[in-house]
Every structure is written in structure tokens, then in C-alpha cells.
Structure 1
Amino acid sequence: MAKYNKVVLAYSGGLDTSIIIPWLKENYGCEVICVAGNVGQDAELDGLEERALKTGASKLYIEDIQDEFVNDFVFPTLKAGAKYENYLLGTSFARPPIAKRIVEIAKKEGADAICHGCTGKGNDQVRFELTIKALAPEMPIIAPWRTWELKSRDEEIDYAIAHDVPIKITRETNYSKDMNLWHLSHEGLDLEDPANEPQYAKEGFLEMGVAPEQAPDKPTYITLSFEKGIPVALDGEKMDGVTMIKTLNKLGGENGIGLLDIVENRLVGMKSRGVYETPGGTILYHAHEVLETICLDKMTQHYKQKLALEFADLVYNGQWYTPLREAMSAFVDKTQETVTGEVKLKLYKGNIINAGVTSPYTLYDEEVATFGEDEVYNQADSAGFINLFGLPIKVKALLDQKREQK
């Protein structure tokens, strides 16, 4: 192994990164500086410094990057309408801002290498490392899961016990989870078999909300205001992005909104089953899509939907810091210049029901669209349009008839 004097570790306080501290010191004899990026994981940060120092780290940085996370990563992805196989990219777009801050601290501390605790089977290793390569291409990267002798989370727990590493999980509650302001993901244990129904109603499984059947029998109405594609107010009250998401998480969670159970295609080639809680994000995506239906012309709306698929792939695959993503965001920003208005929604037992939409830039003209009498649309014009629009179909059919007659 190479020798490093000082290594900066992406630290969450979970099982993987907790045991990596003593592992790094044993194998490299190095000083370990931990960095935790606060992207809204709340209680997970409690007692983090004490655990890091007790486990052998020399210091811990807890960096509050929630505003940067929301404004520079979440909202650009929301404006793009990007979804990866219906997944709202909660883990995916949290990794680049965390890795960015880790790079900044590694440079400040004069570190010899950066270490992460991502599994060799997962997507996060790619997201962290591509960001590091983009922002510090000369920096060595240590990924213990790809080199150490531990092969399972059970063996990790054994290692933690043997090295007196404090951990908060047991073998029975050993779901692999990722929590941030936007979402909570669940993987592992019974979820590894796609035949098993997630136990939404089981106490302790859901953390951001309730199962739809446990939600109130009375609907909750909300009105979201957008300016240029960005949510700026809830029920007339101006809010910054972080406050907006936290407030919608509470409202959505209480109404059983935002549960997703999917088998997704990981970047590394395998399929993986995950359960996601994204209450506020699901509401925001829905509202944004509704507003775009009246603010974007047909050609732009349809082309943007195609681009959203590629945008989602880039985010999912860790390619945030690329010229293509930047160019796509420039296109998206142009489309959002008129995506301003208000969307009213009804939240009820896991459902989001449209309850009205308005915009000063609306392209919906009731006088043109009406089924009643109007003086702006000549229905006779449609005959010529259909004749020309259907001409290729008609010509082919006539020629087919002639060929059959021969």
C-alpha cells in the first residue's frame, strides 16, 4: 500500500465510515480527518463528533451545505423535470456537493488522499470519485470496500465490535439507509427480495411520513407559487428552498405522499431494489409539471421531456461536473423564463390531485379551447389541415390498393 500522512474521510457516522477510521490507521498509519456534509440528515448528526474522535479521528468538520445543495443541485434538477426510472435522484444529487466540500477541506488541510466508504457494488463510488476527479484530478482516492477483507455488513459489525467502534444499528435492523433533506432510501434485509411487500405500516420503517392507509381521512389543500421554475412560496408565504422542502416533507409525509418501491438499474450493471420516501420532492415535481403544461409551448415541452431523461442519467451516473450537464442546464433555464404562477393541489392518502393552476404567462386560451360558441376558430379550416396531414397515409393506402389489384 502507498503511504499517506493525512487522509480526509467522507464521514457519515454509519457502519461503513465508522470502521474505516481504525482501518485507515491500521493499514496506512495516517492521521484521519473526517468531513460530514450536512444535507439535512438531522438527527444523524447528533453526537457525530464524539463518535468520530472516539473512533480515532483527529478532527471532524460538520459542514452545513443545505442551501448549496438545494439551490445549486436540487432546483436545477427539478427545473429539468429529471427522473431516473421514476426515482427523484435524492442520493444522486447529494453526492456532488458533499464531495465538493470534501475536496475543499482536503486542499485546506494539505491531505495526501481522500477516502470514501462506498461499496464496490454501488453507484455512490462513481458519484464521489467523478466529482473528485473534476475538482482535484491529482488527488489519490482510497475506497476500502474494493480492497479490504470484509465481505458483508455482518463482518463489518464484527469488526466494529472487535475494535470498540460505537455503532447505532443491530443485525436485525441493518437496513442500508441514506437520509437527506430531499429523501430517505431503504435497501437490504427483506427488501432484497422483490416479492416482499415493504412494511410501510410497521412501526419504525417509515421515518418521513405514514403509510397512505394511515393518513387522515380529510384532504389537505396547498398552493405553491413558482418564479422561473423555482418554488418561492407556500400558501402565499415566501420561503427559501430549504424551508420549503422541510415544510412540504411534513405536509406530504402526514398524507402518505411520496413512497416509491422500485427495482432500478444501477450504473454498475446490476438491478437493485430500493424503497424511497420523498414527500416534499414528489409534491414539487408534480406541481412543477402541472405549471409547465400551461406555460410551455408543445414543441418546447416535448423536447424538454426528452432532455429530462438524459439529464437524469447524467445526475444518476455522477456526471454533474461535465460540459454536457452545464449545457443542458442552460437550455433548461431558458425554458423556465415563463414558468411562473400558482398551482393548487389536494393531498389525500398518498395521492396528489390537481385543484387548479394559473400563470401570467399561460398559453391556454379558454376562448379558443371552448366547446361553446366562439368567433376565433374556424372549424372548417381543419378539413384542409387533415387532408395535408394525412396525405402520406392516404397515398400509401392508394398505392397499396393498386399493387394488390395487380
Structure 2
Amino acid sequence: MSSFIIEGGHRLHGEIIPQGAKNEALQVICAALLTDEEVVIENVPDIVDVNNLLSLLKDMGVSVKPAGHGAWSLKADAIDLAYTESREFIEKSAALRGSIMTIGPLLGRFGNATVPKPGGDKIGRRRLDTHFNGIMKLGAELVFDEGKQLFKLSADRLKGCYILLDEASVTGTANLLMAAVFAEGETIIYNAACEPYVEQLSRMLVRMGAHIQGIGSNRLIVQGVTRLSGCRHRLLPDMIEIGSFIGMAAMTASELTIKNVSVQNLGIIPESFRRLGITVHQQGDDLYIPEQDRYTIESFLDGSILTIADAPWPGLTPDLLSVMLVVATKAEGCVLIHQKMFESRLFFVDKLIDMGAQIILCDPHRATVIGLGDRFKLKGMTMSSPDIRAGISLLIAAMSAQGKSTIHNIDQIDRGYQDIDVRLNRLGAAIRRV
């Protein structure tokens, strides 16, 4: 298990290009299972979760080949469905939450799909009801193998219907879309997630020959087809990494330019950081964060304490709340961070409190941060990364702290951030991997 040793207090300076979007990559890689023709995906991040999914598909019989820098060629013309019930598949798939999105393509194309209870971050309950309930409405039969802890779905032919999702789940919407493209007749998915990554998946499916209306909205209408072809697709830049870089610049009082961010797909993210007092300038398709020694949290118009909460798109993505919480510790003023989706994601704040931050953990979903500005500095310490987003947040805290910090279990950070230590060291950080 690797660790980071971070010497705090170094300012960053320069330009950085965000990696391709992790969450989009997991969706569109699974979409390659829908056709026996070649699918080329560009701007793919070289991170653990994506590489594990590519490896899993290769083991299933998909031809997986490099197609240039950051690009992969996928051709699913020899799928071994028997492998999906093997012990090796179960173990690999269970360790990767993105494997849940193989269900829709496999069921739609072959009529059978098997998946174990998936893994991923330990951030609280991440139920699968939205996936399975929607797919069963399309006509699939679900059987749970208690002994093997396997979900098995089968259908002679999926049939389109009206589906009202109980939550606007991104992966649930993606799974249903990929199943519905082969369902007979019309499928309407209402309360669908409308994140840019779902929009990207939808447009990719259309290029492959799918008929989808309402792209970018929460009401998707799919007319089933019998076959899809190959295509070429390029991933958006990762909005979570972009937000993380904004947070790093603020916490280390650095001047940073984040290049080619696809501003129109960032939604409310830049404005949310501005409400914490951080200056974020848009320069074409770049974001420029000037050196800023002090920043002050806004209050609501009536003078009450600012609340920052996650919400379905176009609301704030929950993946950035951990970063924003850390950024608030150095601000002047107070903010309530309300993490509605996952009940364990804020538990890492005990490490920030040990570093000197003024935080009150109200309950599993809410934390009040009392920012003391330049009246205090975080102090370095030894800690462990519990999940991807908490891991990058602790790294940001360590970069701004006095003295040295050690972060263990950085494999969690590597799951979502490509060569993060190398890229930040080029900008002036002092991070050593051991």
C-alpha cells in the first residue's frame, strides 16, 4: 500500500490540464458492449478504476487495444457470457462499482446479465434498487443467488414502457438507457439524471444508431432498435478534478490556470466556489484562479449562514462537497455543508479537526465549518484516505498545512486522479510517493 509524504506551505504556479472524466469513462466503456463493431474512446484517464474496468471487459472477451495517447479501441465481438459467472469475474467485478453498468448492455444485447454486489467507496449505502426496478419494468427477471451473492437477470426480449425513477441516479439512468436502446417499442425514462456525462453517453448512443429524444433533460424517450454500430467518442474533462484544482489554488494561495475545462459543462461549480470567496475568472474555455491570501464566505441575503448542499444536476455534485468543506476551513466566516446523498462521506472531518480546523459535525450528513482565515494554519499529521474524494481533500489540506503530513491508503486517490503527485509537483508542490 502506497503513501504520500507532503511538505506543506508550497505555492503552486502555472497551467494544468484536467484529465478525462472518470464517471463518464465508466459509462461509455460499458456502452461498447452494445455492439460487435469497433468503438474508440479518447481522452481516457489512466486511473485505477478505469483500468480495472478495461481489464474486466478484456477478460470477458472484448478486444481492448491502445489507439493513441489516452485512447482505447474496444471491440465486443467475442463476449464469453460463461465467464461472467466465474469466480474470477465475481471477485474482479465486486471490487469495482462501475461494473454495475455492464448489466444494461449485456441484458439488452444478449438477454442475460450477471453481476455481484459491487464495491467502490465506503461512503454509506449506495442502493441498487433504481437499476433493478427499472430494468425489471422492461421485462427482465431478477434472481439473487444468496450463496454466491450474485444478481442474475434474464429476458427473452425487453419491451419499452414508462419508467418513473425513484431517484435521479446517474448510473441508474445510464444502465436503463443502455438496456432500453434494444427494448421493443418506446421507453420513457422520467426523473432521469441529466448530468453532462449522461448527455455524453446519450449522444454516443445516437451516433451508434440509437433513437433518443430529450437529451440533456430529465425525460428521455427511447425508440428501440435491433442493432448498434461502432463510433468514436471523446470524454469531457473531469469536473471533479477541475473543482479539486480550484480548491488547491485557494488553500495554497496559488496562481493557477486550469486549461480546456469545457465551461458550459461545469454548471454551478465555479459559482459555488465564488460563494466561498474564491476568485474564479473565466478566460475563454480556461479558468484562472489568481493568488489570493484571504477569502470570505458569503452570507445569504437575510444575513443567515451560507448553506452549500448537493442536489441533482444542475445542482452541485456531491463529489465536490468534501473539497469545499476543506476550502472553507481557511476562509473567513461560516458555512454549513449538507451532504444529502451519502451518510458516511463527512466522517473524514475528524482528521481535519486533528489538524486544527474548527468544524462541528452535526450529524452524518451535516458539518458546520468555522473559517478563521489567516488567524490559524492547519498543522501536518499522519492520516489515511477513506475514499477518493476525502483522499484528495486531505491532500489539499496537507498541501496548505504547516510541516509534513503523511497520507496512507493513497490507492483510493489513484482510483480517481491520474499521476496527481507528478502533475502537482510540476507546479511547485512537494509530494513524495513511498
Task: Tell me the TM-score normalized by structure 1.
Answer: 0.22
**Greater relative CO (CA pairs within 8 A, separation 6+):** 2
**Structure richer in helix, relative to its length:** 1
**Structure richer in strand, relative to its length:** 2
Task: Tell me the TM-score normalized by structure 2.
Answer: 0.21
Flag the structure with larger Rg: 1
